[in-house]
Every structure is written in structure tokens, then in C-alpha cells.
Structure 1
Amino acid sequence: PVPPRDPNAITSPDGTKAAFIRDHNLWLRDLETGAETTLTTDGIEDYGYATNNAGWVKRDSPVLLWSPGSDRIATFQHDGRGVGMMYMSTTRVGHPELSAWKYPLPGDSLIFRISRVVIHLDGPRVVRLQMPPDPHRSSTTDHVAGAGGVFLDVEWSDDGSRLAFLSNSRDHKHAQLRVADPETGAVRDVLEETEETFFESGSRAANWRVLEASNEVIWFSKRHNWGHLYRYDLSSGDLLGRITTGDWNVRQLLRVDEESRTLYFTGVGREPGDPYFQYLYRIGMDGTGLTLLTPDSANHTVTLSPDGDHFVDSYSTPVSPPVTVVRNLDGEIVIELERADISRLAESGWRPPEPFTVKARDGETDLHGLMYKPTRFDPSRTYPVVNYLYPGPQSGSVGSRSFRPSRGDKQAIAELGFIVVEVDAMGTPGRSKAFHDAYYGNMGDNGLPDQVGMIRQLGARHPWMDLDRVGIWGHSGGGFASTAGILRYPDFYKVAVSQAGNHDNRSYEDDWGEKWQGLLETYPDGTTNYDNQANQLVAENLQGKLLLAHGTMDTNVPAYNTLLVVDALIAANKDFDLIMLPNRGHGFGNEPYMMRRRWDYFVRHLLGVEPPVYEIGAEGRPVS
């Protein structure tokens, strides 16, 4: 009988076998017979093969990249020896259950290291790359594992004879492209990039490619303040030329047609209108022939066909529903597949959020956001304002510019009698490098100068916005930022709801703080370069109403972050509210109880009304 699919195994490209971890070693399972073979034998605790642990997230599945021929595996031996521990315990009757695992923090002398290897299935045999271990870093996220456990920043040649990869420095400022011989383990440096702040090789996916046939490298850089593609010589590492230019960003390189020497990629900021709308483009590798393939002014989600001759284009905006078409590679519509009908949604009284533009803290840069009003909005009334935010720096508050009938519970909060606003502040991605770098080294900024400025500008336009009654809320990084808002702008924000906040990034995962705040430095007077972001150090500023919430089993952002603020508030003799949700992880923000408490907190302290007794979802309706 065929064994059931193992969710903790990664199947080879030919579909005949799968790799998985057992007892710190990598094993192989024949998917036809079920026979199992060990591929490595010297893996031990804290020094195992393909270990999927970044501290803030860990899984039982491996991290690896199969070769196209399904005969080799690129992975690593994951060195956690000497790395600090994280501890949590469950809440239950009797003895609690302890969870303990390796979780490095900023400033630790030892973080995770990866010793790169290639495993050949013939034998099997392990070839170690001839180089020192790399820090556990990638150029696109705070893990070396992508979706499905794919080993990030690693690329096989089509015939499996060459392995290219990026070595990224601990502080994310330096990236080195290298090429290895899988047979011998010999490693050759090709090119490198250094940034003063942080280097990223793309938006959520790497934009570098090694082209064996032409002996070239397609490279991505923001060295000229915008994200663009460059062409390098694979042998010498010399720059051959720029491919894209201008005050806009290449977002994701989707296809390289080596035969026609053509690239297909998504980009943002080049067309008029919302600079976050994504479009598909084509360009020659020599930098000529740049062509827009999705002309409609909207956010385009593109899927290329397997044969590369067509693509599916689904386009929409926050206020207009999606239209899905098939286009050829000249951008011409071949067929319209679907046009969403939202007439019943509109008949129900639904209204979309309203896009707006304001100026950033510099008085020049446009910021883009969304406003939510009650469906029975009355311009003769005044409404308190609730500011939702997520400060990034890896994403922003607004999220996708595609159509969504509901964006969390923001419209629901507006229906309670509020104006809800969100804006992508400076310090978030998608714009220029300078825009993204705005508060590097000062995460306590959180984009708050732009959030406050946004509300003040909108208030000047709209007399129905009551700027004497302003609240703020967010989750995770937004929990960090909402607490910072009421503590750093106590005369502006009167109420804050803060969920699962990483209130001092010295108590959060190493990769995060060291990328956005820098390596931890302690000065002769005992202060550090992380003091400017620590919420507990400004707890004495609290004047308004603050609700803190955290899950006691949050393995992403440990609850100790919130308890640091709690301890400081107690020391400052401040009144505040606290919800500790037993046995909850990081994603409790939209469970019915937390949602109700969030709504009630704003109703009680901004509207000045005692909310009724109710239960969200009590009638069996979906709540998220």
C-alpha cells in the first residue's frame, strides 16, 4: 500500500521520494515502496541536519532544496550549540508543561549558524562546502526557510552541476554571491553588495538569478535608492550594465527567457496613481524595450502559464472588485474569465474604504492610506478617530491594494461610531530605499510622526473628525507601536489597545532586531543603542487608557515583552488594563473575546458609552 503523505517531508521534483528528519538526521523515503534510508549519520541534538528553527518559528519539517534531477539535496547542518534558550509553560490544573527551545536574541554571543552541505543520493554521501559556517540569515525574510521548507537564497543549475547561494552577514548589511561545486565542495566568490543599513535581494522573493548558458548573473540592488536589476559577468563578477532604471521599483522577477534574452517582472511606482499598485512588465536584458503588459490602473496579481506564452491577470483596487483575464505576452486580452459581481454586497449597505493621500513628516513625500466611515455617516456630527497601524519595517499598515470586502474588523469598529484610518508611514517598504530606511536604528519611531501627521492633516480637511478623541491599536509590531504611540505622544493618543507587542526588541528574535535596529552596542555609561526603542523606558509618560494583551504561549513574541512594560507601569504607579490569554499563541487578535474587548475599550473610553452585554459569534456566524 502507498504510505500516507507525510506533511513533515519534502518531495523530490520527480515525485518518487521524500526527505524528512529523524533523530537530527536527514532520511529518504521511497514513495512507492515506503522503504527508508538514512542520508546522514552524524547529526546530534543542537547540531542536526536541515533543522527548521529560527527561534521565533520552528517546525519538524526540513529546510532543503532538491536538485532538478532529484539526485542531490542542498541543505545544512544547523548549529545551535551554545545558543540561549526560551522557556514557556502551559496553564492547567496540576503541573504545567514546560516548553524549552533554542531562541537567540540580539546581542547574544552565539546565534544559529549553518554549515552548508550537498547530499548525494548515490551512496549516499555528504559533501561539505569548503567555507566557514554562515549566520542563520537570508536576504528576504528572518528565516532561511521559505514556503514548504524551501532553502532560501539557494539556486541549482539545470543539470545540478553547480550550486549558487548568498551568504548574508549577521547584521544584513553584506551579501556575497557564491558558486559551489557539489562534487568537491569548492566555493568561489562571484560578487558582493554592502549597504549602510540593510540589504534585501527582492520583495518577499529573491530577484537574483545565475544564467549558466550566457555566463551571467541577474542581480537586484537599491544602491541608487530604487530597486533595480543589474547584469554581471558570472566569471569575473564585473558589472555588465543596468537593466532597469528610474524612480520606481522592480518588485519580483517572475521569468527569465534566456533564449530571447527577455525578463518579466512586477514593478511598483512607475505608473500614475497609487504607487503600491503592482504591474507586469517586460524588458530586454540589455535594458531596452521596457513594456507595460497590464495597463489598467489597478493592483495586478499575475500568474504565468507553464509554457510561458500567456498569463492570468486578476486586477482590482481597494474600491473596485476584481476582473480576471488571460493575456498574451504582449499584454493583449485573449479572454475575460471573470468579473466579480458585488451588487448583493452593495445592497446590504456595504461601503468600501476611502483612499486618501497626505504628506509625510518631510512635508514633501506623499503617503497613502484608507479611511473607514460608518455606513450611516452624518457629516454634521463629530466622530472620534481610531488609528490602526502596523509599523513594519517589513510591511505596512494598509496591506494589499487588491479588493477585499473586509479588512479585518476596521469597518466593524467604524460602525460603532468611529472614523478608522490607516496609512503606510515612512519606514515601510514599497517606496524608495530612503523611505524604507527612515527609522533604521530607531525602531521606537514606528512611523508615529507620520501617523500623527496624517490624522492632523485629515482633521484639518474634515471637521467631523474629533482630534481630541484619538485612539490607536495594533497587533505584534502594531502592539509595539500602539503602546509607543500612547507613551511617546501622550497628549495626542488618549486610548491604546496593544496586542502581542515586541515592546523591547532585545527580548525578541535576533534576526529582527539586528536587521532593523543594528547589532546591540552597550556604551560606557551602561546605555545601549536599543534604549530608544524600549517601551518600558518611557512607561512613566502614560496619561491615557492603555489595554495590554498577550498570549501566554506566544512562541513568536514571548509574553515577557509585555510583562516588561507591565513591570515598568507598576513601578511608575500607573493605571492600565491587562489581558493575559492562557495557552494562546501569537494569533489571538481576532478571536471573539479579544475582538469584543478591543471594541468595548474604544467605545467606553473614546465614545464615553458603556457597551451592552454581547458575545461576538454567539449566533454561529463567522467572526473573521
Structure 2
Amino acid sequence: MASNTVRPHLAGMLALALLAGGAHAQGRTLSADDYARAARFLGFNAAPLVDHAVQDVKWLDDGHFWYVDHDARGDRYLTVDAATGKAAPAFDQAKLAAALAKAGGKPVKAEKLGVRDFGIAADGRLDVQRGGKRYLCDLKAAAPSCAEKAAKGGKEPGVLSPDKKREAFIRDWNLWVRDVATGKETRLTTDGVENYGYATDNAGWKHTDNAILVWSPDSTKIATFQQDQRKTGDMYLVTTNVGHPRLLQWKYPLVGDKDVTMIERVVIDVAAGKVTRLKMPPDQHRSSLCDDVSCGRDGGWDDVKWAPDGKTLAFVSTSRDHKHEWFRIADAATGAVRTVFEEQVPTYYESGNDQVNWFYLPESHEAIWFSERSNWGQLYLYDLDTGRLKHAVTSGEGNVTQVLRVDPKTRTVWFRGVGRTPGVNPYYQQFWKVGLDGGQPQLLAPEDADHTITLSPDGTYFVDSYSTPTTPPVAVLRRADDGATVAPVARADVGRLLAAGWKAPEPFTVKARDGRTDLYGLMFKPTDFDPAKKYPVVDYIYPGPQTGSVGSRSFAAARGDHQALAELGFVVVAIDGMGTPWRSKAFHDAYFGNIGDNTLPDQVAGIKELGKRYPWIDLDRVGIWGHSGGGNATAGALFRYPDFFKVGWAESGNHDNRNYEDDWAEKWQGLLVADKDGKGNYDDQANQNHAANLKGHLMLVHGTLDDNVPPYETLLVAEALIKANKDFDMLLIPNVHHGYGMPATLYAMRRRWDYFVRYLAGDTPPSGFEIKAPKPD
């Protein structure tokens, strides 16, 4: 009898549950207005609403710099006298706008000039860079005018000599120089042939017409190489078009290849046209910093440094697996090479963060060497005569990240560093100086913030722009000897941004996979956030190992589309897991030799901790997305943690690093090793080998002309999913590269929003919404 009375009650409860479940599954229907509101928080809409945010300045000479001051009225170009700290208009913007408009035949707004760089030419005219062109402008004439500064000679990109009189460039696999004033061209080498050329720029994932070389300080000699890739394997792509496709073919060495690209180092006497080969075997096409011989922000050859007198040069050779470094000195006249000292490490060596941090000091017969041998990135002083370590220049916890200046006369080093001040976020860059002969480093930029530093050419002053993800930048002019403030430069105002509804991301810390190590991240919530609701989570991931998910800790009005996506009803998080840089060496080494890890154990642990901390986080609805390495990690997340990650959007992933260029993976995973049965150390990292585990919704995206991560990487995963009879989605974007460009980037973004709205939130997206970027002026 009791059972008869219970059954109707249970039936009613079941009916209510089914109704509730149906309503939840159906969800709400988002409108075009909802998407438009989200798009307000994309960078091209949000960044212009920040006023007086000075994070980048350029020095005109030792005592003057310029910057752009932006506000609601537009842009003002200002120059500052460092001695007084006083700012003044850099030029008459109305006159320049009129002159540029006349020269280009199109209207130019004075408040939106779009000038990227400028200087003063020898004849007093303004030398202006705008829209990829350079102009010489006379603003003092009765009728101001600008004339396009046409390059004399060929169009090959050149490397300017220190005296600015000549530039070196590549033509037909040989190195040439061009006289800047006359355009006269001189051929320096004659034996360069196809795939065995001089100064050629080809890392497989990157291949350009730029020349990789270093001029001597007196502009008389060039250090470069003859790059041998004659036996290197090829990569192929084809265009999508009506008619016969065009075949794209270039050299692209793969992990485990017997023959990879090598370099033969040379010194060229420009006046004599004499090529001196360094007396050593061919060197690996490797860098002490990145996965190319050229890593620097200026596109130079970072691991080569000339002596001031141009008689010798120092360089660092790196083994194929990045575990062995040799510091060497070459005689520029004879080509004789001497190995001074070397360092071997069990995992991989790096010479800094974003910059090579070793320096050649021939006057004192010393070298500054960067090493993580103490578990932290520190500077060490070596004797060049004996090759012996003299002493550590810096020590303790925290890293030297970038040495910005070395003064051999005062024996002083200025550097950026992280994690060196207790209580300060370990990702915040601060600025220090230290003596080469020891002593405690002096903190010159002490604010608890991330500091961007721009030193004057002579090192007397520096502009310090400091901010955090939640506080806008403050820029000040300081003295480099003691950090004293000379004058304020600008203080950002986010009033208009706040009026548009913007809210800062929320920094958080969670524990790593080990339950002890702190991980740092950012959280983005809808601006109409309701703590009484349950929100699905989208995890944005870039697993490294060369960088992390969060990116810069400086202020940014927008970080990708994180806030925009959050507006559609999500909590978006980014977490820098173990295995990413900027922390200790042990932290960075966390998944060395196991790329398939991809920080995923940390992502899972961190999100679960957030779910326990905040009841409004729905751990039953967790999605993930990323591009490139993040695309690899996204597919890996759905394959390795199929019960946790329900929806993934994987863009342009290097899903099996045996199909990626040799240098990147051989550094982080190690050299390819296989047993007699063919099983090896690269099997587990291959996403296609785990594809049968897929349970959730997965979108695979790739550009068909991706010459960094070839599209075959994604097709390997697609093939495995088909063989496993798994449902998945795929978007191939015709004729785009690793970065999709416009309008494909915005199209993919809108499709990504739709995907998470539909499959993670259970809502219905608007049909065919188009994200539009503002048209350039």
C-alpha cells in the first residue's frame, strides 16, 4: 500500500525533472544585440576608450623621446626634454595632415595621423613612417609638403649598417650591399646557390627574404653564415582556386630527420669583398633562446656579438637538443675559433626571456653569462683568458629576464627581473641595476606592478610605464643611476572604458597538480554577473613551454576575446600551469620530455579548486580552447580528460610534433628515440593516438596554407576520429596561414562563440551574426 502512494509522487518528480531538463537543454535564444554587446569588449572597440595610456616611447637622441598621447579628441604627438621633463608638440599635426593628404591623394585627419615613427632628416625635414611608407616632409615652407621617400635600388629587405650608409640584403642566394644614398649595389658573395645561400632566413616554420647577419660596429664587416639545407626535407601546400592549384614548396626539417639545416659561419670584409670562413665544422641551426637562429625583436642574429674594435666576435653554439652550449671567440681576420667555456644541462638551456642575456666584454677579458644552474636565471662573470667562472653577478630567488644595458666602464648592469621581491606577483617585471663585481642589486622601479622600461641611448634616463591587469599604466621619467623620478609623463584614464561597462579581469591563485605550487591566472565574468546563477567555464589555454596562457601582466583593455565571450554567459579563465616560463627552472621543466601533458593536470586542478571556492562555477560544464599549441592542448584535453572537458575548440594545433619543425619539439620533448619495434618517446604526445577517447564536442580548425603548423596536423586527428567512429566538427579556412587574417579571424571568432553558446551553455546563438572591425581612417 505504501508503494502505491509513493509511485505517483515519484512520477510527478520525474516529470518535473524532465521538464526542467528539457528547458535547460533548450536554454535561451541569444539575439544579435547580445553578440553586439559582447563585441564591444573586443580590443579594437575597447582599447580606444583608454586615455593617456603611455606604454611605449621612442628616444630621438640621448635627451629627447616622443610618444603618442591619446584621448577622446584623438592622438597628440609629443616630445619630452629629459633634462627638464617638459613636453611639447612634436610637430604641427594640422600641417602634416594636409601635406600627407596632398602626397597620398587621400584625406588625412590631424587627430588620427597614423604615424608609426618619425625623425629629423639631415636637411631638417621630418622623416615620417606611415602606412608602410616613408615620407620626407617640409613643414616650415609656406606650402608644407611631403614627398614619398622611395627606396633606391632593389626592393629586397635590407639590414642597415651602424653608420646608416649601407644596407645588406639577399639576392639569388648571395649577399649584397646597397649604398643608401646612391642605390649602387655590390655583390659580396658569388658561390651562393639554391638551398645553400648566405644569410638566408628559414627555420621551417618561418621563411622570409630577410637577411640574418650582424654588422661590425665600424660598419666594415659582416658576420653571417652560409646555410646548408640541400639535404633538408621539403614541405608542400597547395592553394585553393579555380584552375590548377599553385604548389608551395620550401625546406622544413622534421623531428628525427637525419639531415637538418646547418650553418657555416663566415665573416665578410665589405670593402674587400673577402669571405673568411670560421675554422670550425658546420654548426646546428639553433639558438640559445628560441627555435630559430634569429629570435630577437629586431630580427637580428642574437647569439653573435662583435668586439667594439671589430677584430673579434663572440658567439654561442647550441647543440641540436639544446642541452649543450659553447661560448666561442673568433678572429675576424683569420677565422680562427677558440672555445672559451661551455655549459651542459639535463633538460634544455635558455639564455633568458625574450632576449639573449650573454655579453662579450673584450676590454676586460670577460663575459657575462646567463644560467639557470641554481634553479633561477642569474648572471655570472667569466674570465675569457682562462674560461673559468670568476663569480656570480646576481643570486638568490627570482630571475633576471632581460639585461637592458651593460656599461663596461662603470662595470654596471641594468636588468629586468621577476620574483626577486618578496610579496610581489612573481610575474611582475621590475627594474634593477647591479655591479659586475658583486653587491646587492638596487631596485630602480619599486612599484608593485609590471614595469615596461625604455632606456635612453646613453643610459642616463629611462621611461618606466607600470601597470597591472587591473590598474591602468602610469608613465614616469626616471634617472638610471638611482631610479629617482625626474618628471611624470602620463597617467592613464579609464573613465570612458568604465562608462562603456568594462570591468577588470580578476586575478586569482590556485594550487597546481602537486597541491603545493601556486599558479596564477585571470578570470573574466559577465559584466551583469549574478552570483545566484551557475555559469559554464571556458578555459583559454596556451600550454607553452615557451610562453603561457595569461600573457603580459601589464594592463590591457582587452585580452583576445575573453571578456567578449564571458558576456555571452560564461566564466572565462586563463591559468599559467607548470611547464610555462618566468618562474623557477624546476617549474619550467615540469613536463619536459612529455609534451602531451600540456599543463592539463594543472588546468583541471585549478578549475576544480575554483569550482569549490565559488558556487556559481558549474564544473559539469567546462569547455576549453586555444590556438597553435593551445589547439594541441585543447584536443588533448578532450581526449585525456573526456569526463571533465565537455566542449573544445582547437585551432591550428601541432597535434603530433613529429610532423612539426625539428627545433621546437626536439628542445622540449628531446631527440626522437625509437626501439626495434618502432615504439618511441613521441608516441604518447601524438593526439591522434588518443582520439578514440573523445566523448564531448570538438571543433578542429586550420588554415589550408598554414606554413607554420601544416594543416596535415589537424587531418591526422580527423583521420583517427573517423576510424574511431567519433562525431566531431571541422572548419578548414582556405588560403590562410597560421594567423588567419581578416576577415577569417573574426569569422572563426563568431563561430567559436556559437560553438560554446550552443554546446556548452545549451543556448541558441543568433543566425549569421557578423563581427565587424572599425574601418581604418
TM-score with structure 1 setting the length: 0.98
Paired with 1:171 and 1:379, the residues of 2 have a C-alpha distance of 50
* Contact 2:153 2:185 survives alignment (8 Å): no
1:83 corresponds to which of 220, 232, 255: 232
Amino acid at match of 1:342: V
Paired with 1:123 and 1:418, the residues of 2 have a C-alpha distance of 66
Amino acid at match of 1:30: D
Give the C-alpha shift of residue 5 in structure 1. Answer: 8.2
Paired with 1:432 and 1:147, the residues of 2 have a C-alpha distance of 24
Give the C-alpha shift of residue 147 in structure 1. Answer: 3.9
Note if 1:299 corresponds to 2:453.
no
* Contact 1:425 1:450 survives alignment (8 Å): yes
Paired with 2:436 and 2:155, the residues of 1 have a C-alpha distance of 42
* Contact 1:355 1:371 survives alignment (8 Å): yes
* Contact 1:68 1:158 survives alignment (8 Å): yes
Runs of at least 5 residues in structure 1 that lack an aligned partner in the other structure: none
SS of residue paired to 1:213: helix
Give the C-alpha shift of residue 490 in structure 1. Answer: 0.2
Give the C-alpha shift of residue 6 in structure 1. Answer: 4.1
SS of residue paired to 1:568: helix
SS of residue paired to 1:592: helix
Q: What is the match of residue 600 of structure 1?
A: 754
Paired with 1:50 and 1:280, the residues of 2 have a C-alpha distance of 35
Structure-2 change in CA distance of 1:326 and 1:614 (3 Å): same
Paired with 2:440 and 2:582, the residues of 1 have a C-alpha distance of 24
SS of residue paired to 2:601: helix
Note if 1:621 corresponds to 2:770.
no
Paired with 1:304 and 1:612, the residues of 2 have a C-alpha distance of 50
Paired with 1:67 and 1:270, the residues of 2 have a C-alpha distance of 36
Give the C-alpha shift of residue 372 in structure 1. Answer: 0.2
C-alpha RMSD of matched pairs (Å): 1.3
Note if 1:130 corresponds to 2:283.
no
Paired with 2:265 and 2:299, the residues of 1 have a C-alpha distance of 16
Give the C-alpha shift of residue 588 in structure 1. Answer: 1.9
SS of residue paired to 1:140: coil
Give the C-alpha shift of residue 28 in structure 1. Answer: 1.1
Paired with 1:2 and 1:474, the residues of 2 have a C-alpha distance of 41
Q: What is the match of residue 202 of structure 2?
A: 53
Give the C-alpha shift of residue 563 in structure 1. Answer: 0.3
Paired with 1:94 and 1:166, the residues of 2 have a C-alpha distance of 49
Q: What is the match of residue 543 of structure 2?
A: 391
* Contact 2:451 2:465 survives alignment (8 Å): yes
Q: What is the match of residue 394 of structure 2?
A: 244
Give the C-alpha shift of residue 207 in structure 1. Answer: 0.8
Note if 1:119 corresponds to 2:268.
yes
State the Cα deviation string for residues 511-559 of structure 1 (Å, max 9, x = none). 0110000000111222110012100000000000000000000000000
SS of residue paired to 1:480: helix
Q: What is the match of residue 285 of structure 1?
A: 436
Note if 1:151 corresponds to 2:304.
no
* Contact 2:544 2:579 survives alignment (8 Å): yes
Paired with 2:770 and 2:347, the residues of 1 have a C-alpha distance of 44
Q: What is the match of residue 563 of structure 2?
A: 411
Give the C-alpha shift of residue 428 in structure 1. Answer: 0.3
SS of residue paired to 1:63: coil
Q: What is the match of residue 333 of structure 1?
A: 485
Paired with 2:734 and 2:271, the residues of 1 have a C-alpha distance of 50
* Contact 2:543 2:577 survives alignment (8 Å): yes
Note if 1:609 corresponds to 2:763.
yes
- Identify which range, 75-84 or 583-592, moves more after superposition: 583-592
Q: What is the match of residue 256 of structure 1?
A: 406
Moved over 6 A (4+): none
State the Cα deviation string for residues 49-100 of structure 1 (Å, max 9, x = none). 1111111101112110011111000000000011100000000001000001
Paired with 1:70 and 1:8, the residues of 2 have a C-alpha distance of 18
Give the C-alpha shift of residue 273 in structure 1. Answer: 2.5
Amino acid at match of 2:549: S
Runs of at least 5 residues in structure 2 that lack an aligned partner in the other structure: 1-149
Note if 1:438 corresponds to 2:590.
yes
Note if 1:491 corresponds to 2:491.
no
Structure-2 change in CA distance of 1:138 and 1:53 (3 Å): same
Amino acid at match of 1:23: D
Give the C-alpha shift of residue 332 in structure 1. Answer: 1.2
Q: What is the match of residue 24 of structure 1?
A: 173
SS of residue paired to 1:533: coil
Give the C-alpha shift of residue 263 in structure 1. Answer: 1.0
State the Cα deviation string for residues 293-328 of structure 1 (Å, max 9, x = none). 011100000011112111100000000000000011
Give the C-alpha shift of residue 260 in structure 1. Answer: 1.6
Paired with 2:437 and 2:512, the residues of 1 have a C-alpha distance of 36
SS of residue paired to 1:244: coil
Larger radius of gyration: 2
Amino acid at match of 1:54: A
Paired with 1:274 and 1:149, the residues of 2 have a C-alpha distance of 31
Paired with 1:152 and 1:255, the residues of 2 have a C-alpha distance of 15
- Identify which range, 8-17 or 408-417, moves more after superposition: 8-17
* Contact 1:2 1:32 survives alignment (8 Å): no
Q: What is the match of residue 215 of structure 2?
A: 66
1:140 corresponds to which of 289, 294, 308: 289
Note if 1:103 corresponds to 2:252.
yes
State the Cα deviation string for residues 338-390 of structure 1 (Å, max 9, x = none). 00010111111100100000111111111000000000000000000000000
Note if 1:538 corresponds to 2:538.
no
- Identify which range, 19-28 or 490-499, moves more after superposition: 19-28
Paired with 2:664 and 2:459, the residues of 1 have a C-alpha distance of 37
Note if 1:500 corresponds to 2:649.
no
Note if 1:378 corresponds to 2:530.
yes
State the Cα deviation string for residues 95-142 of structure 1 (Å, max 9, x = none). 000001110000000110000000001221000000001010001111
Q: What is the match of residue 164 of structure 2?
A: 15
Note if 1:449 corresponds to 2:606.
no
1:275 corresponds to which of 426, 437, 460: 426
* Contact 2:750 2:771 survives alignment (8 Å): no
* Contact 1:62 1:149 survives alignment (8 Å): no
Paired with 2:351 and 2:551, the residues of 1 have a C-alpha distance of 21
State the Cα deviation string for residues 227-256 of structure 1 (Å, max 9, x = none). 000111011110100111111101111111
Identity of aligned residues (%): 59
Give the C-alpha shift of residue 148 in structure 1. Answer: 4.3
SS of residue paired to 1:293: strand
Paired with 1:79 and 1:233, the residues of 2 have a C-alpha distance of 34
- Identify which range, 38-47 or 280-289, moves more after superposition: 280-289
* Contact 1:210 1:234 survives alignment (8 Å): no
Q: What is the match of residue 41 of structure 2?
A: none
- Identify which range, 574-583 or 11-20, moves more after superposition: 11-20
1:160 corresponds to which of 310, 334, 351: 310
Q: What is the match of residue 588 of structure 1?
A: 740
State the Cα deviation string for residues 459-517 of structure 1 (Å, max 9, x = none). 00000000000000000000000000010000000000000000000000100110000
2:623 corresponds to which of 471, 474, 478: 471
State the Cα deviation string for residues 428-480 of structure 1 (Å, max 9, x = none). 00000010000000000000000000100000000000000000000000000
Structure having greater relative contact order (Cα 8 Å, sep ≥ 6): 2
Paired with 1:327 and 1:40, the residues of 2 have a C-alpha distance of 47
State the Cα deviation string for residues 576-613 of structure 1 (Å, max 9, x = none). 00000000100128712100110000000011112111
Note if 1:3 corresponds to 2:152.
yes
Q: What is the match of residue 513 of structure 2?
A: 361
Amino acid at match of 1:486: L
Amino acid at match of 2:287: S
Q: What is the match of residue 13 of structure 2?
A: none
Paired with 2:713 and 2:643, the residues of 1 have a C-alpha distance of 25
Note if 1:184 corresponds to 2:351.
no
Amino acid at match of 1:44: V
